[in-house]
Amino acid sequence: MNRAFTVQVTPEIVRDATRRFIWRHFRWSGVVACILGLIMIGYFTYTNTNGWLGGFLSGVLFLFVAAFIAAYFIRVRQGLRFLERMGDTSVHYVLSEDEFSATSSLGSSTLKWEAVKGIWRLPTCWLLFIEKGAYLTIPLKGPTQQDLDFLSSKVLSKDEEIQ
């Protein structure tokens, strides 16, 4: 039995999915590392010992934070450009026992369920991961709960830790 639904991908969904994707990679451990780095920089600056080490840590901390900020803006810009190229931002999904397909104004794609590495269930959308950084966004306005349960059951047995 096939299940089908259509979703609208909006700029807000793109921004939210990207923000959550980047944040899950940064995690609280990244925040703790930044705080510890700032404490160490403050200590080296205050005690005026190892000035070169404080400068080095400042540079590393700046690059670390800048990389995540840049990653967010690059991914959002790519997603928004893709939406512009689509024109009609609706995506039609068809789910079957063996595969699923996504069709938009730019074309269509059909994948076996085995291609899906995992799923992130976010409050506004679900991300179906094909690879570590490659995912399909499924906004939650469109599919029924039965569609989401079916999709989840197909991916659950293969759900890997995506980091």
Residues present in the chain in total:
163
If you average pLDDT over residues 53-65, what whole number do you get? 78
Q: Is pTM beyond 0.75 here?
A: no
DSSP strand pairing (135-139 vs 99-104): unpaired
Structure tokens, 106: 């730019």
User: What is the C-alpha radius of gyration for the chain, rounded to an integer number of angstroms?
Assistant: 20
The torsion defined by the Cα of 146, 152, 154 and 157, in degrees rounded to 10, comes to -140
3-state secondary structure of 95: strand
**14-18, 36-40, 102-106, 157-161: which range is least confident on average?**
157-161
pLDDT tens digit string along 69-94? Answer: 888 899 889 888 988 888 888 899 99
pLDDT tens digit string along 107-156? Answer: 898 999 888 888 888 888 998 888 877 888 899 998 999 988 888 888 87
Cα separation, 28 vs 31, whole angstroms? 5
